[in-house]
Amino acid sequence: MSILKKTVMDYIKESQTIYIATHIRPDGDAIGSAFALCLALKDMNKDVHVIMPSYSSRFSFLKELNEAKDKVNEAEYDLLICTDCSDIARVSIEQEDIAKAKNIIAFDHHKFSSINATAMLVDEKCPAVCQLLYKFLIDNSIKISKEMATYLYMGIMTDTGSFNYERTTAETYRIAYELVSLGADFVTVCKKINDTVKECKAKLMAYVLNNMEVYLDGKVRMAVATKELLDSLGVEKEDAEGMTNYLRMIEGTMLAAYIREEENGKFKVSLRSEGQIDSAVIASSFGGGGHIRAAGFNTNDVEDTKKQIITKVEEVLNFESNRNS
Ligand code: 5GP
Ligand code: MN
């Protein structure tokens, strides 16, 4: 007798009360995948909510975000769906609420996952979870509304650097075409996400660029934003990120690190790479993770972390030059 393994869709179909969670400090792909899925499941008459205790106000133009919940109401529920989150410690839902789920499924595009899911749909080659989710919805003949198309488009646009990073493929453009055909509001998404910046954040950018630290002849660039600085500029915690790319795009940079102090006195490190240095490997050595070009971790000791990052980059460069000589 053969026992057929249940699919992600089987778990969705047999569940009624569903919560969707994504990673803390959600980005466009996290918010896009969580809310596109929520709208799809509502159309399937599921009792479904997104758990998202906080998010940057730049996403406030998306009206469904008002309905996001902080906590699970029930003592028990059928299904938890995690999107765009590979690390159980970074899911935007409390551990006690995770434990109330009968089953857990995950939609992801990270290489490794510490989420103990009952079933998963993971493709690390996919540039955005929203691309993977689009295919899942099409494969299951689920109608994609204009609102869902806008969320999916936003996730693909943000995680591909507006269709430019190397995991972007012709298929990504085709899916973007399909989403625009379905009515995705790409004009508003681009205007709000790529083309508008708060004044306090513009001042933070100026600080980061004026105070960057340059190492290894410009191959490594770093900047530190303390809580005192962020408070003095009036930057909220959800808006304090997104600075690493400005360091990364400076000519000759192989690895950029932006380090910012969080509410709890710990420091969050965001790494960005040009592709030669694997930032996920560096982040993993500090207990974090991510992708080759974008990764992150937490630390208590900024000076020691900076030294270690420089040493790790030197090791990679020496290894490469020995290999090529
Ligand atoms: P960001 O620099 O935008 O905060 O994060 C970039 C990427 O690195 C994220 O998409 C995520 O995959 C990963 N990442 C950031 N911080 C952490 C962390 O603390 N732990 C893990 N496992 N991954 C992280
Ligand atoms: Mn993503």
Specify whether 220 is located in the same domain as 239. yes
Residue nearest to atom 13 of ligand 1 (CA): 290
Indicate the pTM of the whole model.
0.93
- Angle at alpha carbon of residue 275, lines to 282 and 270, rounded to 5°: 45
Residue nearest to atom 2 of ligand 1 (CA): 270
Residue 1: inside a domain:
no
pLDDT given at position 2 = 53
pLDDT given at position 113 = 83
Mean pLDDT, rounded, for 195-211: 96
Ligand 1 is surrounded, with C-beta below 6 A, by: 87, 90, 110, 241, 244, 270, 288-291, 294-298
What does the buried/exposed string (b/e) look like for 302-313 if buried means 16 or more CB atoms within 10 Å of the residue's CB? eeebbeebbebb
Residue 26: is its pLDDT beyond 60?
yes
Specify whether 69 is located in the same domain as 136. yes
Specify whether 30 is located in the same domain as 104. yes
Where a domain ends, among 151, 171, 193?
A: 193
Residues with CB in 5 Å of ion ligand 2: 29, 84, 129, 159
- Give the number of the ligand closest to the Cα of residue 86: 1
* Tens of pLDDT, residues 169-193: 999 999 999 999 999 999 999 999 9
Where a domain ends, among 175, 193, 211?
A: 193
- Does residue 214 or residue 238 have the better pLDDT? 214
Total number of domains constituting the chain? 2
Domain range spanning residue 284?
199-324
CA-CA-CA-CA torsion sign (173, 177, 178, 184): positive
> CATH number for the domain including 56?
3.90.1640.10
Distance of CA 3 from the midpoint of ligand 2 (Å) = 33
Distance of CA 132 from the midpoint of ligand 2 (Å) = 10
Q: How far apart are CA 280 and CA 239, in angstroms?
A: 23
Residues 6+ away with beta carbon under 8 Å from 194: 157, 162
Report the nearest atom of ligand 1 relative to the CA of 270: 2
Specify whether 108 is located in the same domain as 20. yes
pLDDT given at position 4 = 76
